[in-house]
Amino acid sequence: MDVRSQISMVFHLDKCIGCHTCSIACKNIWTDRKGTEYMWWNNVETKPGTGYPTRWEDQEKYKGGWEKLNGSIRLRSTGKSRIIPNIFHHPHQPGMDDYYEPWTYKYDELFTAPEGNDQPTARPISMVTGKYIDIEAGPNWDDDLSGSPVYAANDPNLKGLTEEQKMQLSAIERLVFFYFPRICNHCLNPSCVASCPSGALHKRGEDGIVLVDQERCRGWRSCIPACPYKKTYYNWQTGKSEKCILCFPRIETGQAPACFHSCVGRIRYLGVLLYDADKIEDVANLPSDELIDAHRDMILNPHDPEVIKAAKANGVHDSIIKSAQKSPVYKFVKEWGIALPPHIEYRTLPMLFYVPPMLPVMTSMDGNAKKNMCEGLFPDFEKSRVPMEFLANLFSGGNTGKVRYTLKKQMAVRQYRRAVTVGDIDMEAAKKMLVAADSSVEEAEGIYNLTSLCTFEERFVIPPANREEAIQMMQDPLEHKQSVGFGLLEDPERGA
């Protein structure tokens, strides 16, 4: 058992209101520099929709992640021999149009335009070329189903749905969508790290954050096609790749990441998971339908004395173990099993999890009266307007059973809480439902509390950084301290 720790996040999609505050907070801190205008380390997508970059889930085009081959796995995009004919370019990268050409407006013209018959306007200009452009698309062009005959209709997750199901999704007055916020998944088997010829990408030992070493990156751009989530980006100004750093400077000082901190719907939960790194290779190799369970099995119980012993032997600090025992992520993923990884079939073993959304109550207007389209207070999620297969394509590699399990449990919790607080549902029936959903009254209270009443401290549980522990493995910590801090990163021009 090779116990390691990972800072991990859960997104409760039922609570996401699609306000993009997380994206803006992230952009203001990290990607408002020249060369990064087009990057959105955090973005919020509308599903069904094609996302950013367009159709990033279409691995036939972008060749992201791993594929199974001869009993082993290999990168889809590149490899030691396959890189040779393409050594100077990677043919499967998204182009600028697939992201979008970043733009601003020429506000000056509002003040400086000569007097004329028309109101002056601020015309859009490209932030790359500085020239006037016609805006064709943006990073959330398909937001709230805008342009849905083009964008929503081309969502790769619609694969495997019947024509009827597809028709239903886009039927007038039955349109439905939900939001899907995305950051780097800080995977256990990251394909970006595997593809990097310079060894610049690495997964930080103490907290599992995947980082690009800006000193070592040589701009080969292998990571860009290799990441199936398209969450590494090429900075055209510095000629190096960049990606979400899970706000590690904030985490090290006890602050929540910017996206987490600014989240209006409080949908995000951050905590530590302990996992068994010995299993990574075997799990990534399993058949598709076993991946979800095996991935969950890698996550270890932080209360288990055996695990604690192995963790300590592996140099995991006591404070990390203590933090892992209080981790909200552990509860959602492992104890309750209602959070699922996005696109497990890419075999990168992502370490961010999503609680699938309960889709909206189906009602219609009948004259002035609102009419429920289903029996009972809550809709039957089996008849949901978003087919189970669609959610399964997103969160469980097509395995509808896993999605059904989480929805059933969430539904049972709602019924139970309705019985407690309003009482118009029979308590016995509600409890029966809980049992049928593989749950219990205690668990239902736990889910209810952490979903609806949670405080900041319950959602955000991470240990002190213990940077000195990590530094000690490479260098004398005192020497390290003396070599960083006040000073110049680059020699000043005038000579020193």
User: What residues line the site for another protein (CB under 8 A)?
Assistant: 50, 53-55, 58, 61-62, 91-95, 97-98, 136-137, 149-150, 153-154, 495
52 neighbors 191 (Cβ within 8 angstroms): no
In sign, the C-alpha dihedral spanning 372, 374, 378, 382 is negative
- CA nearest neighbour of 208 among 462, 36, 23: 462
Closer CB to another protein, 131 or 494, in the complex? 494
Q: Could you tell me the smallest distance in angstroms from the CB atom of residue 147 to another protein?
A: 9
Q: Could you tell me the smallest distance in angstroms from the CB atom of residue 97 to another protein?
A: 6
**How far is C-alpha 30 from the chain's CA centre?**
17
User: What residues are paired with 7 via a beta bridge?
Assistant: 272
Q: Could you tell me the smallest distance in angstroms from the CB atom of residue 92 to another protein?
A: 5
Closer CB to another protein, 56 or 178, in the complex? 56
Closer CB to another protein, 23 or 50, in the complex? 50
Q: Could you tell me the smallest distance in angstroms from the CB atom of residue 165 to another protein?
A: 19
Closer CB to another protein, 137 or 217, in the complex? 137
CB atoms within 10 A of CB 410: 24
Q: Could you tell me the smallest distance in angstroms from the CB atom of residue 98 to another protein?
A: 5
Closer CB to another protein, 95 or 116, in the complex? 95
Closer CB to another protein, 164 or 491, in the complex? 491
Closer CB to another protein, 51 or 208, in the complex? 51
Q: Could you tell me the smallest distance in angstroms from the CB atom of residue 95 to another protein?
A: 5
Q: Could you tell me the smallest distance in angstroms from the CB atom of residue 303 to another protein?
A: 46
Q: Could you tell me the smallest distance in angstroms from the CB atom of residue 61 to another protein?
A: 6
Closer CB to another protein, 147 or 197, in the complex? 147
CA-to-CA dists, residue 343 to 39, 74, 81, 228, 352, angstroms: 22, 17, 27, 9, 11
Cα–Cα distance measured from residue 162 to residue 486, given in angstroms and rounded to the nearest whole number = 62
Q: Could you tell me the smallest distance in angstroms from the CB atom of residue 137 to another protein?
A: 6
Closer CB to another protein, 142 or 206, in the complex? 142
Looking up tokens 């239903």 gives: 168
Burial class, 176, CB count within 10 angstroms (exposed 0-12 / middle 13-18 / buried 19+): middle
Cα–Cα distance measured from residue 85 to residue 451, given in angstroms and rounded to the nearest whole number = 51
Q: Which tokens belong to 284? A: 């990534």
Q: Could you tell me the smallest distance in angstroms from the CB atom of residue 94 to another protein?
A: 7
Longest Cα–Cα distance in the chain: 81
Q: SS3 of 190, please?
A: coil
Closer CB to another protein, 98 or 458, in the complex? 98
Burial class, 84, CB count within 10 angstroms (exposed 0-12 / middle 13-18 / buried 19+): exposed
Q: Which tokens belong to 428? A: 């016995």
Which residues, in sequence order, are CB contacts of 482 under 8 Å at separation 6+? none
User: What residues are paired with 344 via a beta bridge?
Assistant: none
Q: Report which DSSP code applies to 333.
A: I
Antiparallel, parallel or unpaired: β 268-276 and 460-461: parallel
Cα–Cα distance measured from residue 484 to residue 496, given in angstroms and rounded to the nearest whole number = 18
Cα–Cα distance measured from residue 201 to residue 213, given in angstroms and rounded to the nearest whole number = 6
Closer CB to another protein, 55 or 417, in the complex? 55
Q: Could you tell me the smallest distance in angstroms from the CB atom of residue 79 to another protein?
A: 17
- CA nearest neighbour of 410 among 376, 452, 372, 453: 452
